[in-house]
Chain A
Amino acid sequence: MRENLTKSPSPQSVIELKLPKITAVAVENFRQATRTSHSEGIPKTFVTLYRRGEFDWLERLHVDFHNLLHTDQEYVYLQPLKVGDEPTVRTHIVDMKERKNLTIMTLHSDILVGETVKVVAMTTFMIRQSLAPLSGAAE
Chain B
Amino acid sequence: MNWTEGQTLAPLPMPVITREQLAQYADASGDHNRIHLDEDFAKQAGFPSVIVHGMISMAFLADYLSSRFPEMEYQIKRFKTRFRKVTFPGDLLVCEGKVKKINDDGSLVIAAWTQNQRGETSAEAEAEIRANPS
What is the interface of chain A, defined by CB distance below 8 A to chain B? 26, 29-30, 32-41, 43-45, 48-49, 51-52, 65-77, 122, 131, 133-134, 136-139
Size of B's binding interface in residues, CB under 8 A: 48
1-57 of chain B: CB within 8 A of chain A = 14-15, 21, 24-25, 27-31, 33-35, 41, 44-46, 51-56
4 tightest A-B contacts by CB?
A: A139-B54, A34-B59, A33-B28, A74-B80
Task: Pick from B27, B35, B84: contact of A65, CB below 8 A.
Answer: B35
Task: Collect the chain A residues with CB atoms within 8 Å of residue B35's CB.
Answer: 65-66, 68
Task: State whether A73 touches B58 (Cβ < 8 A).
Answer: yes
Task: Collect the chain B residues with CB atoms within 8 Å of residue A34's CB.
Answer: 25, 28, 56, 59-60, 63
Chain B binding surface SS class: mixed
Given A38-B66, A131-B45, A134-B86, answer yes or no on A33-B78 (Cβ-Cβ < 8 Å): no
Task: Pick from B63, B72, B84: contact of A138, CB below 8 A.
Answer: B84
Task: State whether A33 touches B29 (Cβ < 8 A).
Answer: yes
Q: List 10 A-B contacts (CB under 8 A).
A: A43-B59, A45-B59, A51-B30, A65-B33, A65-B35, A71-B82, A72-B82, A72-B83, A74-B78, A131-B45
